[in-house]
Each structure stands twice: as structure tokens, then as C-alpha cells.
Structure 1
Amino acid sequence: MEGGEAKEISWEEVLALAGIGQWSEVAHHCEKFIGHPNFGENAIQLQSEAFIEMGEPKIAIEKLQSLLQPGNISILTLQLLARAQEEQGFLGKAKEVLELALSVEKSSVDIWKQLGAIHVKQGAQAEAAKCYKRVVELDPENIESWNSLGAAQANQSEFENALSSFSKALLINPDHYLAGVNRLFVLNRRAQFDGIAKEVDRLIKLKDGEDIRQVGALSAQQCCDWEGFDRHFSALDKMTEEAIAQRRCPREQPVAGAAFTDDPQRNKRLTHAWAQAAWNSVSSLHIGFSHRIQLGQPRVRVGYFSSDFRLHPISQQTLPLFGLHNRERFEVFVYSTGIDDGSPMRQRIINDCDHFVDLRQSDTLSAAQKIFDDEIDVLVDFSGHTESSRMEICALQPAPVQATMLSATGTNGGGYYDYVITDPIVFPESSRVDYAETPAWLAGSFFINHREEVISKNNITRSDYGLPENAFVFGTFNQSYKITREAFTIWLRLLRAVPQSVLWIGAVP
């Protein structure tokens, strides 16, 4: 090399730069190979990938346009185009492109995996599961897809199927961290605690992180292992606060956090971080709904939104609500994002509302669009941060007024819930600082109960449930993860103070 001339770089060297993630250099050097008889198409594809990696998906799409010739589009080009569209938030377009790719190459594991990830982002867990099932049919040793399949199944409360998928992943690699953690979460959710503590410690040795510390704290708390709980929660608390300080969404789930500690300001920080993450996941899907005043509309349209319109405490508490509205003033919509268990309770809700809409199979944007198209005036979310909730739908603000009620975490955080429906006992004036929402105080108690429930006429005896005939019975039927050290200590003191007394704890998986 003389006179300061730049050294010519070969195509193999460009590929080597891509292999070590030098994407700026890759984008620059690919330019000279565009139009090359042998590497021209590859150069455009690799340059587009570089722009995607550098956070410039719009430029990547522009670069790919020259390769989008009808009848002669490569599968790789379609995958890159879908990836760029996904990065821009155009999930519907990305899905269409991948479906086009599958019409050409039905047995591509990579395309099925990419399509599955799109469905997860859209909140369409059932469709995601179908994609991952196809992957493991094509490639039974694909450990990541077994794990992804299990996650999609768990998100639909298909816990036995999820355990099977995670177990298959662990048969391939017993030290696969995510599959191991996810399996423990499901076992914990099913109250199957045998061996969890030992497996938690084993996985911590592989990688000490938020996920494994959370499942360790949850299982220890449910087994009243307070020493184990202190050990895991102390580590988790530091990790959670560090994530919040760095404006990352912690892995600690808000409902678990509310059970771990009764610190309301910590709860507010945690719920806000998760609510913000829900918004971040969908903010690019839609520019925002433009709400208008419904002039001349004779009735207020109220929408109730939950994943728990089934045999569940939320439905047990709210069951009479839907039929008690004054139909001259209100039109009642119910939006269900959870499973249809065929229960009489779900059927009662269907019968008592004016419109029952099943959104379980709908992606996030389609669900929000449906609520908007129904011209809902007030949307009330019963799920909040609980399991299988779809808070990201509410994050898109499909209704002009949105409220939360019966939230397991008190506040939902974020900025897209206007009110929390409550009363002055549950939410005194002094609690305003602990909530992101404005209180909508109801007279008396806000808490609804299914007061119509008929007491069974069956001849039920204590022996049917293994209870002593002459004992004084204390009972608690909460989920076991809600048992705190303080409550358990009080229960033990009561049992010591009351002769011949027993504590009946409901076995709620």
C-alpha cells in the first residue's frame, strides 16, 4: 500500500466483521459490493442486517426494496424485511411477510420461530404456541423452542402442558437456565414444592439472577421457610431496586412484590416500572386513539375488562354487579381475555351483561381497536398486574376514561389509569402519595360480594375435610404466597392461646 491508499477489503473480511458485531464497518464496506455479480444480493442483505442491529430499521427497509421483485424474492430477504418491520412496531406487516415466506418454505425452523416471537409480542399466545409446536416437530432437539412453547402454554394457564415442554427442554440440556427457572415457576404456581429449594440453589450456582431469586423467595414464603425467604428476598430486593434505578423493568412481578413486603412506596415503584414496560411494548403499534364526546348517546357505555371471568375470586366477588346496572342509563360490555372454563359463573356473567366479548385470541392492537370501536366511555380493569392479565391493551388507552378496581397491588402504576375505584377505609386520604391513580370513593364499602350465594344443603361434616370434631377451627383460604411471616406468627400465637384449636389452610394451587 503506497500513498495512503485504503486497503481493499474482501467479502470474506466483511463477513468476519459481521461475525464480531462490527456493524458500522459492515454497513460501510457492503456498499462497494452492491451490484457485484456474485455478492450483490448478499451485500444488500448483510447491509440491511447491519442497519437493523444499529437500530435503524427504516433504512434497512429502504435498502431491501431493490430485492423485493415479484416472483424472485429470497427467503432471507423476507425474514430481514419482517425483522425490520418488527423493530419499527409494524407487527401486522411483519406477520404477513413471514406468512408469505412460509408459503414458499413451509419447513423453515427459523421462520416459524420468528413468527412465534411476533405472536408473543402481539399477545396472541395460542398462535405463538402453534408456531413453536411446529418448530419442535421439525427439530425435536430445539431447546429454545421447547422453552418458548412452555412459556406460551404457561401464559394461557396450560400448566401441565407447560411443565411437559420445559421438561423436554431440560432432557436435552439439564443446565438450561431459563427452562429450569420457568419450570420452577410453574411448579410453584401449582403448589408442588417438593425439591424446589434444592433446585433453586443449584440454578443460583449456574447464574444468580432476579428470576431464580424470585422463585426462591416465593417457594420459601409459601413453605413458611423464613430463613430461606430472607436469603432470597434480600438478594432480589437489591436487584429490583438496581433495575428500577437503571429504568429497566425488574423481573420481580408486582403481585409477588406486594406479598413480599408491605412497603407502599416500593410497591408504587415496582408497579410503575411494569406498567411502563407494558406501554413500551405497544407504544409503536398505534399513534393513539382519538376520543370524542358521544353527543346524543342515550346511555353511558361501561366496559369491564379481565382475564378472570370464570370460576375465580374476581368473578365470585363481582358476580351480581353486571346485572345490577340501570339499563336506562348504562350499557354493559364485558371483555374477557382469559380461558372459558364453561362454569355457571362465567355463563351468569354472559347472561347479565349486554355484550360479552371474548378477546383471548385477539392480539393487543385488535383487542384495543375493538374496545375503541365499541365506543366505551369508561373501561374498568379488574386484572391489573395479575397472572395472564393483558395490561398492554389498556396501555393503548382505547377508552377516554380508564379505572382499576380490585387490583391485587393497590395501584397499577403507569399513566393510563385515571381512577381507582375504592372507599375511604381501603384508600384513606393519606394514601394518595402511594397511588398513581385518583381515588373514586364509593359510599360505604367498594367491595362487592356475591351475596346471592346459597349455602349448601348437603350434609357436610368436619370429618369430610379431616378436621377434628371438637376443635375450634381458624380458617384462611388465601393463595399461600400471601402468607407473611407476621400473619403466620399471629396464627401460631392464637393456636397456643386457644385450647384445642386448629388452623385450616385452603389448598389453593
Structure 2
Amino acid sequence: MSMVDPLFEMVKRGLDLQKSGHKAAAQALYRQVLAQSPSHALALHLSGVLAGQMGQLQQAVELLQRSVEINPGDPLAWNNFANALQDFGATQDALHAVSRALAMRPEYVTAWITRATILQALSRHEEAVEAFRAALNLAPDRGAAWTGLWRASMESCQWSDLPDIIPRVQAAVAQDRPALLPFEALSFSEDEALHLKCAAAYAHDIVIREEISPFHHPPRPRNSRIKVAYLSSDFHEHATSHLAVGMFEAHDRSRFETFGVSFGPDDGSPMRDRVSKSFEHFLDVRDWTSASIADHLRSLQIDIAVDLKGFTRNAMASALLRRPAPIVVNYLGYPGSLGVSAFDYVIGDAIVTPFSSQQNYAEKIVHMPACYQANDNRRGIAADAPSRKDEGLPPSGFVFAAFNNCYKITPTFFAVWMKLLREVKGSVLWLICESETIQQRLRSEAVSRGVAAERLVFAQRRSLEMHLARHVHAGLLLDTLPYNAHTTASDALWAGVPVVTLQGQSFAGRVAASLLHATHLPELIAHSLDEYFALAKALADDPQRLTQLKTQLSTHRMHLPLFDTPAFTAAIERAFTTMHDRWQAGLPPEQFSVPALPTPHH
């Protein structure tokens, strides 16, 4: 007669509860098992996975680590340990753990996808392509592997297989559960309805996984000042801080009490120092769970929580899905809807988020008077610019700059750029890309389109001040779609370089158009690929007109709406006040435009 193992039966019951979404009950059962048998590998494993699902990242790592130490022969546990390590930010250790899983079971598809995702996080995109391919050789219909392969191919500028990959991604996205991450959807397609669908599915997963029930804020007496908390993992040397730090500093302290809530690293940079001083209160919460961040903000009686991350890397969306304040705002970090009504408002403008797009936003759209993008009018430009020679540029000839991240470069736009190089004699294309493999790949793409390899020049990484200074050598900045230059475009305009853009159909593809309106240069916005080409070529062929545009930018820089930090801050404060007044009056969020105040004549 066989003996029934009571502990095993409890673990099995726990797993059933876990699968049916009763996480707290499952966790209680696993704890009971571990109290009786602390080295029960399966209970440790399942309990670790569950801790990860509940957002308890450190606990997940500790439990799974004990599980693989006790039972090192379980590839499933190694794969889950790898995922927990990656969520925790220990990416290199995660790669080691998933390699253990694959050494034991080379046909383990999910582990290949885990490996590929970790390699992407390490910017090892060529190897990620190989790992996604390995997964697809084993499971040709795995949607997540197709979408991952597409992203890794774009990141590494491997375009030859895109005609095969894209239809598979479209099929994976058409499912009820779209297989594309929201941020990836923004550069996959211009379809805002698809962006909303991917964001809604992703947010729904977080809510279910972490058992989030949004907090309902009872009415309370008005704070003496409106308390605004900005949440980000980028309060250091990062584009978000470069854009927004001037706004943080310019807030009217007599009416607003500001909180910076940082869940990212402290890189010890001057920018970290400046940002942390720009708020009245600066909270470093990088070791906190999302639930404890939300609880703390509620205890501080924050009126407005502003999410500067959305669904980008190292975001903390689950803290905001818990509604840590009566008003939750999606702003700056994520150019699209976050897909759920837990976010009340998205701050845009008439170009990036026309009210006609409201059906593709879960949030109510708010229009800033000039442009949605904050800018810092104290951004320093180095006095001594590197020379053309320092930058590897030829001594003469027109320089087309395209400083967007590699993944934004599409074969369509690259073909137009090559046509420009063929038609503008002696011109070069100036790109930013550190990987030598990708540089070689782009050079051979150029050669296949009739352009000599040496006409592609790759810029080195430099400090922001030096990067802005070297723009002096650029004639024009060329933009991309579906995902525009955002900070890259405002950097160029601040440094006095005109930008040529093709206005797209979604927020991510309309940012440069918005920036150009806010610098009084709407004539640089094209509405078709042919017009984009013609505009760039006409400017490259007309040095006088170009000099005029550059002078216009440099001379009027401080008075252009895009770079008027005090006016911008006053406008966002009017937006916050309107939101707060509606809440105080018991009214639901509603779309509105912030009126422009008459500007004093300079």
C-alpha cells in the first residue's frame, strides 16, 4: 500500500490555488510546508515564483536560489530563477542561471526565450536574434519569440528577414492576448488602436499577477498646497532628467509641494545631484515594493502622482496602478496610452494627442498650450566643440545627422537617406551606434544601395555638453517613423540644427512635428516620404536658407515656446490646478486644453 506524502499533497493544493489566482492562500500553504520541511525544493521553487508574481522581487530571488541549491537538477527552477534575477536587476547572474537550464534541457523553448530577453537587456542583440531563432526552430508558432526576434532584428539592424518576420508578428498581435510589449508596439506600428490594445493587455496582466485593487480616495480637507509627486527610475544622467529638471526647479513652491520619487540607481552624477535638489522632498525608494511605495504616497496625502516612465524599461507601473493619489497622470516618459483607467490623464498637445484620438486613450487627454515636452533652458553646450576631424567627418561636404537609436532606423527611411547621399555630392550620414557589427551591417546596406561605405560616419559617445557642441557640424537632423526623435530632436533644435520630420499617425511619430511648431518651424514638417526627401534635399542644396534657419534658432532660442521653461512650468501648474479643482468638486476626469497666457514682449 502506497504512502501519500502529506507535504506533497499540500504543495499540489497550493499549486492549484496559485493557478486559479488565489495567491495569498497558495503562499500560506507553501509557508506551512516550509515550516515543516525548510529544504522542500518544490515548495521553495513555487513559493519563489509566486513571490515574483506578487512583486516581492528580493524574496523571489532568495527562495528560488535556495530551491536550485537543494535541487540543482531542475531546469524549470533554473529558468524561473533566471527570470527572478532579471526582474531584480541582476542581469548577468540571470544569464548564468538560464544557461544552466539550457545545458540540462537544450530543447526547453521557454528558457531560450528567457535567454534571448536577458541578452536584449544586456544590449547583446545579435546573440538575442540567435536565441529567438533557436526557440522558433523548436516551436515555430510561439508568438512571443516572433515579436522578440523582430525587436532584436531592429536593434541590430538585421533587415533581410523582416519581410518574413513582420507577418508573423502581425498574427501574434492580432490574438486576443497581443504578444507585443506596449513599448515595442510603438515602433512596430502607427496604429494607436493597436498601441491601446497592447497596453491594456499588459496592464491587465500586472493587475491580475499582483492582485491589485485600485485604492479609492475618500474626500479629504484640501492640503494647503497641491502635493505633486513625480515618479521615475531616471533621476540621474538620463534624457528624462535632462528634459524635466528645469521644470522641477521652476515650480511655484508657494502653491505646489513637490516630491521626487526615485526607484532607479544613484549614478553619483552632477545631474543626480541637481535633480534631487530640484524637489522639496526626494525619496529614494529603489528597494521598496510597489505596494509600499503606493502606501507611503497615500500616507503623505499626495494629490497628484505623475508617472514619468509608463511601460518603459525599469518602470514601476504597478505602484501607479494601485492609485497612490486621487489623480494619476501619464507624462513624458511614454508616448502613448497606458491602457487603463487607473491613469486619469495623459499630458499631450494638439499635435501629438489631438482630441480626435481620445478613443485610443484610456486616460483623458490634456493639451499643453505649445508643446507637451518639458525642456531645460539651462542645458549647457561646451564652449570648445570637437573638430570635424575629431568626429571622423570629412573636412568638407554636407553632413546629414541621424542621431536616433538604431532600432528606430527602418529600411524605408534608410533607403531615402541613401538616395539623399547619392544626390547631394560629397555629403555624409552621421549616425550614433557603438556596436562595430552594426556599423559594418549599415555600411554594407549602404553599399548595396550604391553608396560608398565611408560615407557613413559613426559618432562616439560623448558627454551631453560635448554632444550638443558637436551639432555645429550637422547641416540637418533627419527623423524616422513610426518612432520619431524625441529628446534627440529637441537637443538638435537647442543646438541650432534644423530637423526634417515626416509627421506620423501616432503620438510617438508626431513628437518632432510638435517640437517644430513650438520652435516656429512648421515648414520643416513633411506629410509624405517624397515630400520628406524633397525638403531635405532642397535644404542641403541651399546653404543660404539653411544658415537663415540656424541663425533663427540660435538667436531666438531663449524666447521660443519650446525652451521657455518658466512659461511651460506655469502651464503644467495650470493643468494640475484644473485636475485638482475637478477632483475637489467631485467631478470625473475630463479632457481639456490649458489656455496659453499672453507672453510679455521680450
Q: TM-score range by the shorter chain?
A: 0.7 to 0.9
Paired residues of 2:15 and 2:26 also in contact (CA < 8 A): no
Aligned pair partner of 1:333 in 239, 259, 262? 259
Letter in 2 for 1:377: D
CA distance 1:115–1:475, shift in 2 (3 Å):
farther
Aligned pair partner of 2:202 in 265, 274, 291? 274
Q: How far 1:432 moved relative to its partner?
A: 2.0
Gaps of 5+ in 1: 1-10, 13-37, 58-82
Map Cα deviations across residues 20-67 of structure 1 (whole Å, 9 max, x no partner): xxxxxxxxxxxxxxxxxx87x94x9849956973xxx5xxxxxxxxxx
Distance (Å, rounded) in 1 between the aligned partners of 2:97 and 2:429: 37
Distance (Å, rounded) in 2 between the aligned partners of 1:129 and 1:46: 25
Paired residues of 1:422 and 1:439 also in contact (CA < 8 A): yes
Letter in 1 for 2:356: S
Counterpart residue number, 2:22: 88
Does 2:150 align with 1:217?
Answer: yes
Letter in 2 for 1:148: N
Does 2:329 align with 1:403?
Answer: yes
Paired residues of 2:112 and 2:134 also in contact (CA < 8 A): no
Does 2:133 align with 1:207?
Answer: no
Within 5 A, what are the aligned runs for 1:78-157? Answer: 87-90=21-24, 102=34, 105-157=37-89
Aligned pair partner of 1:442 in 341, 346, 368? 368
Within 5 A, what are the aligned runs for 1:225-264? Answer: 225-242=158-175, 244=176, 248=177, 250-264=178-192
Distance (Å, rounded) in 2 between the aligned partners of 1:52 and 1:159: 28
Does 2:159 align with 1:159?
Answer: no
Paired residues of 1:364 and 1:392 also in contact (CA < 8 A): yes
Within 5 A, what are the aligned runs for 1:28-39? Answer: none
Map Cα deviations across residues 450-472 of structure 1 (whole Å, 9 max, x no partner): 33122224562344443333343
Once the two structures are overlaid, the 10-residue window that deviates more, 179-188 or 381-390, is: 179-188
Does 2:174 align with 1:174?
Answer: no
Counterpart residue number, 1:65: none
Q: How far 1:361 moved relative to its partner?
A: 2.3
Superposition CA RMSD, Å = 3.0
Distance (Å, rounded) in 2 between the aligned partners of 1:448 and 1:317: 6
Map Cα deviations across residues 93-152 of structure 1 (whole Å, 9 max, x no partner): 866775675565443322332332233123232332233333333333332233223223
Q: How far 1:230 moved relative to its partner?
A: 2.7
- TM (normalized to structure 1)? 0.77
Once the two structures are overlaid, the 10-residue window that deviates more, 307-316 or 450-459, is: 450-459
Paired residues of 1:307 and 1:338 also in contact (CA < 8 A): yes
- TM (normalized to structure 2)? 0.65
Distance (Å, rounded) in 2 between the aligned partners of 1:164 and 1:465: 38
CA distance 1:95–1:45, shift in 2 (3 Å):
closer
Count of residues in Structure 1 that have an aligned counterpart in Structure 2: 434
Letter in 1 for 2:152: S
Secondary structure of 2:380's partner? coil
Map Cα deviations across residues 364-419 of structure 1 (whole Å, 9 max, x no partner): 32222112111111111111111222212222222111110124341111111111
Map Cα deviations across residues 335-387 of structure 1 (whole Å, 9 max, x no partner): 22333333332232222112222333222322221121111111111111112
CA distance 1:140–1:149, shift in 2 (3 Å):
same
Within 5 A, what are the aligned runs for 1:438-477? Answer: 438-457=364-383, 460-477=386-403
Distance (Å, rounded) in 2 between the aligned partners of 1:497 and 1:153: 51
CA distance 1:457–1:111, shift in 2 (3 Å):
farther
Secondary structure of 2:329's partner? strand
Counterpart residue number, 1:413: 339
The sequence identity of aligned pairs, in percent, is: 27
CA distance 1:216–1:285, shift in 2 (3 Å):
closer
Counterpart residue number, 2:243: 317
Letter in 1 for 2:69: E
Distance (Å, rounded) in 1 between the aligned partners of 2:266 and 2:26: 30
Paired residues of 1:122 and 1:363 also in contact (CA < 8 A): no
Distance (Å, rounded) in 1 between the aligned partners of 2:267 and 2:56: 19
Paired residues of 1:376 and 1:399 also in contact (CA < 8 A): yes
Once the two structures are overlaid, the 10-residue window that deviates more, 444-453 or 466-475, is: 466-475
CA distance 1:52–1:503, shift in 2 (3 Å):
same
CA distance 1:478–1:149, shift in 2 (3 Å):
farther
